[in-house]
Amino acid sequence: MSETKAPVVPDSEKPGNDLLKQITQGPGLVSVLGVIVALVIGGLLIAITDEKVAQTAGYFFARPTDFLSELWRAATESYVALFNGAIYNSAQGFKPFLETLTVSTPLICAGLGVAVAFRAGLFNIGAQGQIIIGSVLAAYVGFAWHLPLGLHLLLVIVFGLIGGAIWGGLVGLLKAKTGAHEVILTIMFNYVAVYFIDFLMNTQAFRRPGGTNPISPILDSTAVFPSIPGSRLHLGFVMAVLLVIFVSWMFKRSTVGFEFRAVGHNPEAAKTAGINVARSTIIAMAMAGALAGAAGVAQVAGTEKVLTSGIAGSLGFDAITVALLGRSTPWGTFFAGLLFGAFQAGAVNMQITTGTPIDIVSVVQSLIVLFIAAPPLVKAIFGMNRKKKRNAKLETTQAGAK
Amino acid sequence: MTASTLQPAINVLPSKKTPIILSAIAVIVFFCFGLLGNSDSAHFQLNSAGDAFKLPELVFPGKASNIVIGLLLIGLAVYSWLQRKKSKLVATWMIAIAAVLFVLSFLIWVVSGADITTISLASLLAGAVVLAVPLVFGSLSGVLCERAGVVNIAIEGQLLGGAFTAALVSSLTKNAFAGLIAAGIAGALVSLILALFSIKYVVNQIIVGVVLNVLVSGITGFLFTTVMQEDPELYNKPVHLPVIDIPGLSAIPVIGPILFKQSVIGYLMYLAVFIVWFGLFKTKWGLRVRAVGEHPKAADTLGIKVNRTRFWNVTLGGIVAGIGGSFFTLVAIDSFTKEISGGRGFIALAAVIFGRWNPIGAFLAALLFGFADNLQVILTIIGTPVPSQFMAMMPYLVTIFAVAGLVGRSRGPAAAGEPYVKE
């Protein structure tokens, strides 16, 4: 009796097949459509709060064309400004694109961290804290130690990775040893890190000599990534690309990567097959933390060159959306990072030229992730469910035959 | 659900954790707060303005009283080891006494070592309750959702949505109660998205929750800039809810202001805690909800509509959290600002876990976190050597210890986070 009522869920969305498939699979077309729907909703939000649109709505029935053209203008104007600030504009050529690459560098690194944990079946909400601890260590090495060129930057990177790895690895350790849920642990670790950096920035060791503001000394010139003159783009971007290649290699070719995937798919089966699940959990979280720490390095040794308590911004949460949009694959994360980097770089220009608040980026970003996570919804919006219904019938008959 | 039901069979020796923790606390109090403590006295005022009668000021000599408290705690620790030898559990009330003694000795230690050695205990407690109000509502939302098997990470978004809508509607209608109702609706709307995606489209509940927080933060931030800041007089000047003072009772020192001098939301808080507790543990409805959260398949077999129950519980949770969010803009603060909830939704989540998914437990945990929050403010004012950031960390550290099983064992509803699809 219940079978006829049961919602038929395509294989990729069956809950038993869990988080992983939900994130890693799904047709590309639906992703593109999801992005479009999110952009349209964002555009509508911009339009309905626009003054001129509200004015023309007042006489909508007298002259509907006025209203519609204003609606179109308000929405497209903002997106054009966004594009101009992120990719290309006639005055600066492709220079804004360099800014997009700069902004996406930490997003890609931290997004990779979240993605690696996802693949190992772990939900890493803790990128925020891992970035903070990573950037604290990296920045300290950068301004307090004075070392020769080359070695200094190398140590900055290494310490940043270690900082993140410790903060992530602690969560892995607690999860492996006590069974505590990593989502709760990472959220709590984030706040501990937030207050910890706040405390550090109020100590003499982290302040500029004689300064009263909570801002660190500028990192030594030997400790920062070389950058392209006239832009903020720095070699940290190359580090991000190398990390993408490394993670991609790890999942495809290495034992550790294989173990991560096995544990992520089915911890019980992995255990039976002789994989040490606890060890894998700890390593995965430490690695996720190290990658987030790399984002911290990119911030302090590349983009900002100083440490402040707001160094991580909203990177930690953006990283989650990046990993989700990238379906937790290394290159998917890379391109998702570029897309969201472009949104954020362009949003600055958009706010200046059209007055549209930067917050619209969070709205569009989160909508994109929501829509991509629920393909049936996007299909329903575009009326693509007809084919599915036929399949549905087929599946119910099969289910009945079981 | 009491702690004893979670413990293993009786012929096994109980875990060493409780005695170890009690011993550690006793040692810290005796040596750090006692022997190494400051010999100045700590003064606690019990009266606040408008009290009916005067209570004497409590004066504790720093070193001496902490040595006494330390000895008491050592006694408790020894007793707990003896109990363990007899395969008996330490009674919950003894752990509670140890916790209260520890907090007291910490207060004495910190205040006697400060620049100003007098604090008002009455306002410390009253302020703690005020700060706890949104936490309590948020944690009740968490309890309602998780008991039905839906993990609610979106408490933060519900609080924020409630705060924004309350400010907007209260400003437009010049009616605080309209704002209160609108806040409930806003919280429910956030919940509806959570329910739609996690129940209908079986998207992972944690993903939806995390993303919803970002979405609500983005939408409220966007509308704050485009609408509220354009004309703050019209859109962001909420009429506040009145503080209702029950004559006579509110003049009782210490507890008067806490229990009988609250805003409408403050009174609603006490009511909501009782109703949710009664509903979940004393009614047929509650039994069904808990069945859905623990074993949805069994519940389904008995004819309980699993997904419908979840849907309504999530919606109800949203209403509760939305009302809690309105506390920011209708009682505590004059107008809405971006991110006004400031991560309190996550502290509420911590309170759910620390309170072991029980409404009363969550209420007490939220009070404790509110107390820590307020203490941090007061300690900054009186100038203690303890950095305020470490006080602010306390709720999170306590939660880490709680979920890691170092302080008791926290076990959530078995099916929380698992979507339910009929086969």
B2 touches chain A (CB under 8 A): no
Task: Look at residue B386 and tell me whether its pLDDT is greater than 60.
Answer: yes
Q: Which of A223-227, A341-345, B167-171, B418-422 has the lowest mean pLDDT?
A: B418-422
Residues 73-132 of A with CB under 8 A from B: 123, 125
pLDDT band at A3 (very low <50, low <70, confident <90, very high): very low
Q: Are residues B117 and B135 in the same domain?
A: no
What would the mean pLDDT of B102-110 be, rounded to a whole number?
Answer: 86
pLDDT band at A4 (very low <50, low <70, confident <90, very high): very low
What would the mean pLDDT of B357-370 be, rounded to a whole number?
Answer: 91
A12 touches chain B (CB under 8 A): no
* Run of H or E residues at B82: helix B62-85
How do residues B122-181 score in pLDDT, each as one tens digit?
888 888 999 999 999 999 999 999 999 999 999 999 999 999 999 999 999 999 999 999
Query: Residue B13 in contact with residue B87, Cβ under 8 Å?
Result: yes
In a domain, B33, yes or no: yes
Measured CA to CA, the distance from residue B171 to residue B389 in angstroms comes to 35
Q: Are residues B57 and B140 in the same domain?
A: no
Residues 35-54 of A with CB under 8 A from B: 45, 49
Contact A188 B396 (CB under 8 A): yes
What is the count of residue pairs from A and B with beta carbons less than 8 Å apart?
148
How far does the CA of residue B217 sit from the closest CA of chain A (Å)?
8
pLDDT of residue A2: 37
Query: Residue A175 in contact with residue A181, Cβ under 8 Å?
Result: yes
How far does the CA of residue A379 sit from the closest CA of chain B (Å)?
12
For B69, the domain range is 17-121
Task: Look at residue B89 and tell me whether its pLDDT is greater than 80.
Answer: no
What would the mean pLDDT of A219-245 be, rounded to a whole number?
Answer: 93
In a domain, B234, yes or no: yes
In a domain, B256, yes or no: yes
Between the alpha carbon of residue A145 and those of residues A148, A206, A291, the distances in Å are 10, 13, 23
What would the mean pLDDT of A108-127 be, rounded to a whole number?
Answer: 94
Domain boundary residue, one of B121, B152, B172:
B121
- Chain B residue with minimum CA distance to A192: B393
In a domain, B272, yes or no: yes
Q: Which of A281, A258, A318, A288 is nearest to A176 (CA)?
A: A281
What would the mean pLDDT of B189-194 be, rounded to a whole number?
Answer: 96
By the 10 Å C-beta count (0-12 exposed, 13-18 middle, 19+ buried), A50 is classed as buried
A317 touches chain B (CB under 8 A): yes
Q: Are residues B180 and B322 in the same domain?
A: yes
In a domain, B392, yes or no: no
Residues 6+ apart with CB under 8 A from A351: A357, A358
Contact residues, chain A, for B422 at CB < 8 Å: 2, 5-7
B389 touches chain A (CB under 8 A): yes
pLDDT of residue B5: 44
Q: Are residues B150 and B271 in the same domain?
A: yes
B418 touches chain A (CB under 8 A): yes
pTM for the model stands at: 0.87
Domain boundary residue, one of B64, B96, B121:
B121
What would the mean pLDDT of B306-327 be, rounded to a whole number?
Answer: 96
A147 touches chain B (CB under 8 A): no
The residues with which B61 forms a beta bridge, in sequence order, are B41
How far does the CA of residue B405 sit from the closest CA of chain A (Å)?
7
How far does the CA of residue B69 sit from the closest CA of chain A (Å)?
29
pLDDT of residue A21: 57
Q: Are residues B37 and B178 in the same domain?
A: no
A191 touches chain B (CB under 8 A): yes
Contact B218 A359 (CB under 8 A): yes
Residues 6+ apart with CB under 8 A from A42: A360, A363, A364, A367
Q: Which of B396, B320, B409 is nearest to B359 (CA)?
A: B320
- Chain A residue with minimum CA distance to B211: A366
Q: Are residues B208 and B146 in the same domain?
A: yes
Q: Are residues B256 and B134 in the same domain?
A: yes
Contact A366 B218 (CB under 8 A): yes
Residues 6+ apart with CB under 8 A from A268: none
Q: Are residues B283 and B159 in the same domain?
A: yes
Contact residues, chain B, for A6 at CB < 8 Å: 421-423
Measured CA to CA, the distance from residue B107 to residue B120 in angstroms comes to 12
Task: Look at residue A15 and tell me whether its pLDDT is greater than 60.
Answer: no
Contact B421 A179 (CB under 8 A): no
pLDDT of residue B55: 80
Complex confidence, ipTM: 0.85
Query: Residue A173 in contact with residue A282, Cβ under 8 Å?
Result: yes
How do residues B329-347 score in pLDDT, each as one tens digit?
999 898 999 999 988 999 8
Contact A369 B207 (CB under 8 A): yes
Domain boundary residue, one of B365, B385, B407:
B365
Q: Which residue has better confidence, B386 or B227?
A: B227
pLDDT of residue A20: 57
What would the mean pLDDT of B282-311 be, rounded to a whole number?
Answer: 93
A30 touches chain B (CB under 8 A): no
Q: Are residues B93 and B225 in the same domain?
A: no
Contact B218 A191 (CB under 8 A): no
pLDDT band at A1 (very low <50, low <70, confident <90, very high): very low
Contact B222 A367 (CB under 8 A): no
Q: Which of A66-80, A125-139, B202-216, B290-304 has the lowest mean pLDDT?
A: A66-80
Number of folded domains that form chain B: 2
Rounded to the nearest integer, the mean pLDDT of chain A is: 86
B153 touches chain A (CB under 8 A): yes
Map residue B60 onto helix, strand or coil: strand
In a domain, B1, yes or no: no
Between the alpha carbon of residue B187 and those of residues B124, B148, B159, B216, B339, the distances in Å are 30, 18, 7, 10, 15
How do residues A249-281 score in pLDDT, each as one tens digit?
999 999 999 999 999 888 889 999 999 999 999
Q: Are residues B158 and B272 in the same domain?
A: yes
How far does the CA of residue B262 sit from the closest CA of chain A (Å)?
30
pLDDT of residue B38: 77
What would the mean pLDDT of A216-235 be, rounded to a whole number?
Answer: 91
Q: Are residues B53 and B166 in the same domain?
A: no
pLDDT of residue B327: 95
Nearest to A359 among B225, B227, B403 (CB): B225
How do residues B24-62 score in pLDDT, each as one tens digit?
888 888 888 888 877 788 888 887 777 777 788 888 888
pLDDT of residue B410: 59
In a domain, B4, yes or no: no
A263 touches chain B (CB under 8 A): no
pLDDT of residue B84: 82
Query: Residue B76 in contact with residue B98, Cβ under 8 Å?
Result: yes
What would the mean pLDDT of B367-390 be, rounded to a whole number?
Answer: 84
Task: Look at residue A16 and tell me whether its pLDDT is greater than 80.
Answer: no
Task: Look at residue A17 and tell me whether its pLDDT is greater than 70.
Answer: no
In a domain, B79, yes or no: yes
Task: Look at residue A141 and tell me whether its pLDDT is greater than 90.
Answer: yes
Measured CA to CA, the distance from residue B310 to residue B394 in angstroms comes to 33
What is the CA angle A256-A259-A260, rounded to 5? 85
Nearest to B222 among A2, A195, A357 (CB): A357
Q: Are residues B43 and B173 in the same domain?
A: no
B405 touches chain A (CB under 8 A): yes
pLDDT of residue B33: 84
Residues 6+ apart with CB under 8 A from A379: A30, A385, A388
Contact A321 B211 (CB under 8 A): yes
Contact B396 A317 (CB under 8 A): no
A354 touches chain B (CB under 8 A): no
Query: Residue A185 in contact with residue A122, Cβ under 8 Å?
Result: no
DSSP letter at A393 equals H
Contact A363 B210 (CB under 8 A): no
